[in-house]
Amino acid sequence: MLASLLVLAGCTEPKVRQPRPSSSGTAAPSAGTSTPGLDPSAPGNDFDATEGTDPALAAFYSQEPTWESCTGSGNLECAEVLVPMNYADPNGETITIAVNRNQTAGPGAPTLLLNPGGPGGSGTEMAEYAPFLFTGVTDTYNVAGFDPRGVETSSAIDCVTDPELDAWLTKDADISTDEGLQAYVEEFRGFAQDCVDNTGPLLEFVDTDSVARDLDILRAVVSQTEQLDYVGFSYGTFLGAVYADLFTERVGSFVFDAAVDPALSLAELALGQAQGFDRAITAFMEDCLAGSSCFHQGSVDEGLAKISQLFDVAFATSLPTSDANRPLTSSLALTGVITAMYTTLYWSALNTALDEAVNRGTGTALLALADTGNSRNPDGTFDGNGSEVIMAVNCLDYPVEGTLEDWRAAAEQMNVDYPTFGDAMAYSEVTCSNWPYQSSRVREQISASGSSPILVVGTTRDPATPYEWSVSLAEQLENGHLLTLDGDGHTSYGMNSCITRHVDEFLLTGTIPAAGTTC
């Protein structure tokens, strides 16, 4: 059984807006200090936006965007920045990148750019609530966000209508059989053609290398500094690593939280996530049984088997919900459980949802979790276009390797090794092999030799970007430094007080946590 191919093709994460935890934890050790630079737009500073850049891109680097108060928010300023659609043709068509900033530190303060991940996450949305998550640095930095090319309020990917996307995310697919594969491919090719027709030529140019080049223009235009200060989460760590590889001398204070290993193939990405989500669902089950009201009473393995059986039951006959028009399919059940793995804040809700689905045969609560993961509103509309962006970017970033026989063998092994979710992470190659634009990127390690220190944060039971990926990226980077959270969930800066204290000190003073530091 395979479900939710759109969602599980990469490192997407649901929009989980979480409150900053109360202050606690240990102080960060010192390992040398530096201070963030002043904004060169302040009196006494000289800044040439085009210095060291391609002369063909000079007009983009030297542009002066118009900043205005964002609609519905008096604390945010919004602007649009022009970039080439195709960097190989800088005199060709242009696109716009939406950017906003919270001037919490005031004019002249340095800018900290954020990327929340995805691919498909909205940085402008993250910047709206960043002052509540990153309070330790907002007196020093003005926090800014941007929607990468293809995303939401920038020049955006548009494939299908919201009702059509809703129907697509609800579908169950089984491509382990020739008949199921043929049916899926036929449907998906129609979906992909809709993306071409409704998006236009931009669809070919939403790869991460292009986004990294946009990021350097944002450095010049928004930050107005010779070096970029940046925090990337999940996929945003890959974006940051690509930027560090392309513009090594431009790396300022960089933090990568929940890292993606840039050397991974599509198959290795899927295997890592299969391991990560299996580890996470096991941790959930152990936590559930340690309480007094778990949906299951018995062993961990027996509880996991009930969850797996739920997916099979919903695949055979979808479960009724409070909305007669929206039964819980296997795809939606899987998405609901997967969504709850991103943060322990959802574990109680998942227990309630599983009690309802497993023990009572109804799926209302699990459907609500799936809607959260899919960013679906109660009226059937969607916040953003992440479900469409993730395919377009991943299929440009990851070359298709192997054969159908290889993919089926890998799926069968996942069913054996990770029986709760089975082959749900498999077959991304089928999707990308039928995408209209194929990747030519070489998947390889990134060292960013000569860069400033880069802090990599990894969580030991992270489901979507397993801890091993953070360890690997920190080792690959010539000046990478690993900070570990022994815990659960996806990303930790702004959520765990110990991690936040270390990261804040790094951003504010340049202090690198001592080797082996674990929160």
The residues annotated as belonging to the active site are 234, 462, 490
CB-based contacts of 405, cutoff 8 Å, min separation 6: none
d(CA 159, CA 157): 7
d(CA 201, CA 198): 10
The pair of structure tokens assigned to 185 is: 């491919």
Residue 27 DSSP label: P
The pair of structure tokens assigned to 300 is: 């961990």
d(CA 391, CA 388): 6
* Whether residue 21 has a cis bond before it, omega within 30° of 0: no
Give whole-number Cα distances, 248 to 176, 243, 255, in Å: 44, 7, 14
* Whether residue 201 has a cis bond before it, omega within 30° of 0: no
The neighbouring-strand residues paired with 101 are 77, 144
d(CA 268, CA 398): 11
The neighbouring-strand residues paired with 69 are 77
Maximum CA extent, the chain: 70
The pair of structure tokens assigned to 44 is: 């006494």
Reported as half-sphere exposure (CB side, CA atoms, 13 A), residue 355 has a value of: 12
Q: Among 467, 490, 165, which residue's Cα sits nearest to residue 340?
A: 490
Give whole-number Cα distances, 26 to 34, 66, 200, 402, 501, in Å: 21, 43, 51, 47, 8
SS (H, E, C) 250-270: HEEEEEEECCCCCCCCHHHHH
- 507 within 8 A of 256, measured Cβ to Cβ: no
